[in-house]
């Protein structure tokens, strides 16, 4: 926000969150495998395509994330594009770790780079970690895309809007 003087105005955090909540995003679960072989995943709304040549995609991860360092250690990840009907997965991979394994009762398969693929997702995007850039209280994780798979193109993808999950079906 900029005042009439051109100086940045004090920004109210709640207002900032509320206004940005009016920008719809897709939702992925970024999955990977820790050094001890354990599967991990985090719900991410900031995943986006960055470059076509070379193919790069990325997301912003909070610098206090407990899961990301475990995935990052393996140097690769898979972005699982959630379907509109997968609200339960969206919330389960955003919950505090202390509440138990996020993979409980899920039958997963493996992506080309060996990351977990959640059941019923629309698409997967495999990446190796290209670079990580600190931006404010988040890190921008840039991934070099190594494989993409459209698993269920007819299924509407999830959209997150004003704090709720919904449907991205247009055509």
Ligand X SMILES: Cc1cc2nc3c(=O)[nH]c(=O)nc-3n(C[C@H](O)[C@H](O)[C@H](O)COP(=O)(O)O)c2cc1C
- Residue numbers at the binding site for ligand X (CB under 6 A): 27, 42-46, 59-62, 65-68, 90, 94, 97, 160
- Shortest Cβ 49–ligand X spacing (Å): 15
Nearer to ligand X, 46 or 112 (CB): 46
- Shortest Cβ 62–ligand X spacing (Å): 4
Share of the chain residues as helix, strand and coil, in percent rounded to the nearest 5:
15, 45, 45
- Of 126, 149, 138, 110, which Cα lies nearest the Cα of 57? 126
Nearer to ligand X, 105 or 137 (CB): 137
CB distance 61 to 68 below 8 Å: yes
Nearer to ligand X, 62 or 114 (CB): 62
- Shortest Cβ 27–ligand X spacing (Å): 5
- Shortest Cβ 66–ligand X spacing (Å): 4
- Of 11, 10, 30, which Cα lies nearest the Cα of 94? 30
Distance CA 149, CA 2 (A): 43
Nearer to ligand X, 24 or 119 (CB): 24
């Amino acid at each position: 926000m900029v005042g009439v003087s051109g100086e940045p105005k004090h920004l109210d955090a709640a207002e900032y969150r509320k206004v940005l909540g009016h920008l719809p995003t897709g939702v992925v679960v970024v999955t990977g495998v820790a050094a001890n072989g354990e599967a991990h995943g985090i719900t991410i709304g900031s995943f986006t395509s960055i470059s076509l040549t070379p193919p790069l995609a990325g997301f912003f991860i909070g610098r206090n994330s407990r899961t990301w360092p475990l995935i990052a250690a393996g140097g690769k990840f898979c972005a699982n594009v959630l379907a509109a009907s997968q609200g339960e997965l969206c919330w389960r991979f955003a919950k505090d770790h202390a509440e138990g394994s996020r993979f409980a009762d899920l039958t997963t398969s493996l992506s080309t780079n060996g990351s977990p693929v959640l059941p019923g997702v629309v698409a997967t995007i495999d990446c190796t970690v290209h670079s990580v850039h600190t931006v404010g209280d988040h890190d921008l994780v840039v991934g070099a895309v190594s494989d993409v798979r459209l698993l269920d193109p007819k299924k509407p993808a999830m959209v997150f809007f004003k704090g709720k999950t919904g449907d991205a079906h247009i055509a």
